[in-house]
Every structure is written in C-alpha cells, then in structure tokens.
Homo-oligomer: A and B are copies of this chain.
Amino acid sequence: MNRHVRPPYIGAAYYPELWPLAEVENEIARMHELGVNCVRVGEFAWGRMEPREGEFDFAWLHEIVDKLYAGNIAVILCTPSATPPKWLTDTYPETLNVQSGGLASQFGGRCHVCKSSPVMREKNRIITRKLGEEFGKHPAVIGWQLDNEIFHYGNGCHCPLCQKRFRRWLEQKYGTIEQLNAAWGAARWSLEYDSFDSIIPPRHDTWNHPSLSAEWLHFQDDTICDYIREQAEVLRAYTKAPIGTDMMLPLELSHTQMNESLDVAQVNHYEPAADLYKTAFIYDLMRPIKDRPFWNTETQAGWNGSNFAACRFRPAGNCYVNTWMPVAMGAEMNLYWLWRAHPNGHELAHGAVLTSAGRYYHIAGEIARAAAEFKACSSFLQETRVRSKIAMHSSATAAVNFAVAPMVEGFNYRERLVDLHAAFRHCNVDLIDTAHSLDGYDTVLSPYLTTVDENGLKERVMAWVEAGGTWIVGPMADTMTDYTAKYTHAPYGFLEEFAGVYTRYQLPLETDTIRLRTSDGEEWPASVCYDAYELRGAESLAVYEGDILAGYTAIAGRRVGKGRVILVGCGLRGEDLFRLAGAVPSAEASQNVRVVARTGERREGIIALETENAAGFLRLDGRYRDLVSGEEVSGRVEIAPYAVRVFEKLAG
C-alpha cells in the first residue's frame, strides 16, 4: 500500500498508454497542483500489455506506476478485459458475442465478446494473472478494478454455448421440464417445452414469455457475476489490496451478488446538473453492500459525452458538490472520468480534468478546492461512518420482474424508488437488497418489492417484526415469485394473513379520481395501483375516496409481537411515506440541503450539501465546529448555493 497517501482519495482515470511516456512527469506535476492523489490505470490497455497473443509487455506500465508511486499518487490497477485486442476475435472468432437474431457482434467498440467463451476466459485469466504477478505487491497499488461497467448489454449473448448454458441453468433451477412448464403456465398458448434442450433464449423480435425473459436476465446476471468472480480469484493469489468492479446502476443488476466475491463496492455514475440530488440514491445503495467505504470510481468532471458533449451545462460549483457528495455519504474516493481528454476515438468529446492539449478545464479550481477540504476533514471522515436506522428495499429480482412486466402502463421501478428516496434527504437511509440483514434497523420500507419470498427474507422479516421492527410494505409487494408469476391463492404470498386484511378489490391503473383520507383526516394523493382492503385484525390507517373503492382501507396497520406491519395498497408520495415511517430528520434544513449524519466511536457530526444552486439553511442542535473554516457555529446556519459544510459536534 502507498503509505504516503491517505483517504479520501480524489483523482481520475488515466490512460498513459495513449501519450508519450515522457508526458507522465508533467501529468504528475498537474496532479500535485490540484491535490489529486489517486489514478486508475490499465483499463482497456490489453493491446499494449499483450500486443500479440502470448507476448507481454509491462515495462511501460512499470515505468508509469513507479513514477506515480514516486509522486505519491495512489494507483488503482484495472484488468483490461472489457477490450480484448483484435487478435483474440481474429484468431478465435467463436469468442464474439452473438446478437439475438444470429448476427455476431463486430469488433470496433468494446464488450464485443461472449462472457462465457472458454477461450476468452482463458486469455482473460492469463492477462489477469500476469497483471497480478507484475503489480500484485507494488506499493503504489491501493486496489484493483476488474473489467469495466459490466452488464448484460443488449439482449445478452446468443452463441450456441450460451444457449446450452442457459438450458442447464434452467434445469438446475426447475429440476424437471414439467415443473418449468407448470411454473411458467406454459399450457397457455400451447407453449409447453418437451425438454430443456428445446428451450431457446428470447429473441428481440418475438413477443416473449415474461418468465423466459426474466430468467434470461437472471442468467445473464449469474454469468457476469461468475466472470468477475473468476478474475477476483486469479488476482487474490498475488495481492492483498481490495478488489472490486466499477458497476453501473441498472437495478436489474444484482449489485449485492456481484460483490459477494469482491472487497470493495465501486460505482460509476453520470447525471445532468439538475439530477444532482438524485445521486444520493446511488450512495445509499452502495454503502451497505460492504462493511467498508465504497469507491466512486467514475463521475463526470465537467460533462460527459461520446461524440458530443452532453448532459447539459453545469453551473459553477456543481462539480465541487458532486465531488463531495459520495465522500460525505460513505465513499472514501471520488474519481473523475477522465484525467486528460483523448484527442480522437470513441468518447473524444467527453469532459475531463485536462483538455486534449493538456490544459485545465474551468472545473479544475473546484477540484482543487474539494481536494484541499478532503485533506482538512480527513481524520473526521475516517473516524466516523454513515449509519442508518431506516432501510428501504431495492431489489434486483423486483427490477427484473418489472423490466419484463411493468404491470402498470408507464410504471418504472427505478424512477419510483428514486422519487420515494428523495423524500429522505434529511435523514440517513440504507438501500438494501433482499439478501441483506435487517439487524440494526428500526424501520424497513418495502415499496414495490414484488418478491419477498427469496433469500429467506420472508422468515427473517417476520421474525424481525416480531422482535420489534416496523415494516412498511407495499404497494405491489409479495405479489410475485422470482419467475414473474402471480400467486393464485391470494393477491399476496402471505401478506394478507400477516397484515390482517382481506383484499376486496385490485385496480392497477393510475387515475386522479382516487385519493386517500388518513385516519388523521389528511388527504393524500394515491397513484399507480389501488388494492382495497377489508380489515381482518388490522386497523385502518387510510381509506380510499372516489367512485369505485370509496370506504375501503388503503393502508392497514397491525401490531405483531413487539413490532408492527403497515401494509400499503397504493402508490404514495415520498413525503407521505416519510411521515408514515415516522422518520426523524438528523437536523432541520431547507429542502435543497441534503443532511448527512456521521457518527464514530469518539466523534460525530453533520455534513450539509446544497444541491440546487440556491440559498438554503440548516439548524444545528448544539455547538459545532466547521472543519474547513475552523469556526464554531450553532443554531441556524445559512448554506450558500452549491456549498458543502462539515460540522463536527463539540463536546458539551
């Protein structure tokens, strides 16, 4: 490990293979100017590492990494597997990804190979092992990134091997073809399969069975998790530094499963300025995955773009807050993409820290400022953590179910969760998948959690409620198996009984004619779907109004042991869910200010981040010190547009 570099890390992806070797000295000097202390290297550089099959060249990379080490720049080394050189697909054309419809993908971009190909996997292990051998013990290397933004692109690989693997995968899950036919209801439309061997993956131009489409997605997920797991295993023999893979945010990807074989959650994200507040969703999702700070491996410096600069203009200060936000919320790293803009090729119009000509973009000052402040707050950030008493489920299984069967026109699971989550901007909340433990949470929210009965969650959540937890569940929760089938004995698997209701009617189409009246007399809008309950032991917390479901219960609550279950029958606004959860803000603040509470064994404090480029405020309860200015503050504090304020609580 690089002992001279301390977190938080700030830096960028750096592609020295594209520039004359001599440039590295200048680049390091620039990094020092800005306070940058970490770079990612090696990503995509397979061609330079192994220019011809079996011929390796790491001398150039050693020179780079040595110089970075000498310059006190921490290094994250990347496996280059996302971009195999042309010799791989020229020599082994069977490694090419096959599109739905039968056309092999064409070399020329990235991610054009089959993720299961044995030849590709072998070449992959070799280059990974070589990297491990060469750099596994290098003191500059603080961690590893595997592949790049891995996901089941397009519709997955349809090569004969993947088709065969899919059949075996289904056989393992369903046992017999009769069980699969029954589970999928294949009798309808005479779709019964004779054998697993007769199953074919869903084709893009076919009206596909949703269970088939869902399993194909789950299978893709397993394939790429296995692909990453294999790389991690190879590397572990050579390194003690943490290993991860820089993930994108499609919720259909099981971030939890992906990280089972890994050490550190890594995430890449790009959003327009107006969506800055939504990035909190990302951090609350990454933080609980591993019991250590996560890495924000990519975000835009000024803008993103491939052949054109995109995602709209960002006002001054936006880059600064975007840099601070992951670190405030639980990351120990924020890296930009990229250090110096390419002069050509794919993504030649992407924003960066430096232009192709090696000059700073205007955001350099904001980066330097964040770097300096990271340094000033370093010990506070390392000695405190973000802890939550509230968790909200974000489920890969639900995401897959909704991807193949959104159930209600226009319904988008991800957008809905992000919207609900945004209401929790003044209190810490964890976003967890179903496999995650419920220990330590007071309240768990499970909106749109189609599948409760997986990963033992059903039994665990019932016991956790019994022991005192408050579970706010629904709408659309417990309505589906993990193969996209509804229950036939009741609308829910077990929730009617557990929550003490009988579902009289179900209406899954949004309308503005139905509203809620809470037992406190408040009127709330309802959306998406409307399950109407009769009480069988529960108490009514809200009833429907309108011409169709008037008088039926929309929200039902019931004590269970020391805890409580609250069943929600319809879509709620985030602010109403917040109130239903009895959530308590970490501090009073204006809506444009995100409040993050950090606690440690001996220190605690609050970080306030303004995300809307407007004036805001925070009200501190007690005496605090501003760790950047050094001033002592208390009471109402003005938060300037795009300001970040770090307040440590003072004793007494």
Residues A108 and B206 in contact, CB atoms below 8 Å apart: yes
Residues A190 and B48 in contact, CB atoms below 8 Å apart: yes
A342 part of interface (Cβ distance < 8 Å): yes
A15 part of interface (Cβ distance < 8 Å): yes
Pick from B188, B209, B309: contact of A108, CB under 8 Å: B209
- Which residues on the B side are within 8 Å of A212 (C-beta)? 108
Residues A513 and B315 in contact, CB atoms below 8 Å apart: yes
Closest beta carbon of chain B to A470's beta carbon, Å: 27
CA distance A469 to B404 in the complex (A): 57
Interface residues on A, range: 35 or more
Pick from B15, B47, B87, B109: contact of A207, CB under 8 Å: B109
* In the complex, chain A residues 506-542 whose Cβ is within 8 Å of any chain B Cβ: 506-511, 513, 532
A299 part of interface (Cβ distance < 8 Å): no
Pick from B307, B357, B411, B487: contact of A404, CB under 8 Å: B307
- Which residues on the B side are within 8 Å of A103 (C-beta)? 101-102, 205
CA distance A210 to B305 in the complex (A): 13
23 CB-based A-B contacts, threshold 8 Å: A18-B187, A44-B188, A51-B192, A83-B189, A85-B190, A85-B192, A99-B205, A102-B103, A107-B200, A108-B208, A109-B189, A184-B345, A189-B346, A307-B404, A307-B405, A309-B407, A312-B509, A313-B509, A315-B513, A344-B486, A356-B487, A357-B491, A362-B507
A361 part of interface (Cβ distance < 8 Å): yes
Residues B106 and A406 in contact, CB atoms below 8 Å apart: no
Residues B488 and A190 in contact, CB atoms below 8 Å apart: no
Closest beta carbon of chain B to A301's beta carbon, Å: 12
Main secondary structure of the interface of A (DSSP, over half): loop
A618 part of interface (Cβ distance < 8 Å): no
Question: 1/0 contact trace for A181-216 toward B, CB 8 Å?
Answer: 001111111111110001010110111111110000
Question: 1/0 contact trace for A105-118 toward B, CB 8 Å?
Answer: 11111101000000
A92 part of interface (Cβ distance < 8 Å): no
* In the complex, chain A residues 82-100 whose Cβ is within 8 Å of any chain B Cβ: 83-87, 90, 99
Residues B362 and A209 in contact, CB atoms below 8 Å apart: no
Closest beta carbon of chain B to A66's beta carbon, Å: 20
- Which residues on the B side are within 8 Å of A198 (C-beta)? 86, 90
Question: What is the chain B residue whose CB lies nearest that of A549?
Answer: B362
Pick from B192, B203, B308, B509: contact of A47, CB under 8 Å: B192
Residues A346 and B188 in contact, CB atoms below 8 Å apart: yes
- Which residues on the B side are within 8 Å of A490 (C-beta)? 357
Given contacts A85-B192, A344-B484, A348-B405, contact A108 B202 (CB under 8 A): yes
Given contacts A202-B108, A345-B184, contact A47 B190 (CB under 8 A): yes
Pick from B45, B110, B486: contact of A356, CB under 8 Å: B486
A303 part of interface (Cβ distance < 8 Å): yes
Closest beta carbon of chain B to A431's beta carbon, Å: 24
Pick from B193, B315, B349, B361: contact of A405, CB under 8 Å: B349
Residues A15 and B188 in contact, CB atoms below 8 Å apart: yes
Residues A358 and B488 in contact, CB atoms below 8 Å apart: yes
A435 part of interface (Cβ distance < 8 Å): no
Tell me the A residues contacting B by CB distance below 8 Å: 15, 17-18, 44-48, 51, 80, 83-87, 90, 99, 101-103, 105-110, 112, 183-194, 198, 200, 202-203, 205-212, 302-303, 305-313, 315-316, 341-346, 348-349, 355-362, 404-411, 483-491, 503-511, 513, 532, 547-549
Residues B309 and A194 in contact, CB atoms below 8 Å apart: no
Closest 6 CB pairs of A and B: A47-B190, A109-B207, A313-B511, A344-B485, A307-B405, A185-B344
Closest beta carbon of chain B to A344's beta carbon, Å: 4
Question: What is the chain B residue whose CB lies nearest that of A302?
Answer: B507
Residues A313 and B513 in contact, CB atoms below 8 Å apart: yes
Question: What is the chain B residue whose CB lies nearest that of A341?
Answer: B486
CA distance A102 to B310 in the complex (A): 33
Residues B316 and A548 in contact, CB atoms below 8 Å apart: yes
Closest beta carbon of chain B to A484's beta carbon, Å: 7
Question: What is the chain B residue whose CB lies nearest that of A491?
Answer: B357
CA distance A309 to B315 in the complex (A): 41
Residues B101 and A210 in contact, CB atoms below 8 Å apart: no
Given contacts A345-B184, A548-B362, contact A210 B307 (CB under 8 A): yes
Given contacts A345-B185, A487-B357, contact A405 B190 (CB under 8 A): no
Residues A308 and B406 in contact, CB atoms below 8 Å apart: yes
Pick from B48, B190, B306, B408: contact of A44, CB under 8 Å: B190
- Which residues on the B side are within 8 Å of A208 (C-beta)? 108-109
Residues B548 and A190 in contact, CB atoms below 8 Å apart: no
- Which residues on the B side are within 8 Å of A313 (C-beta)? 509-511, 513
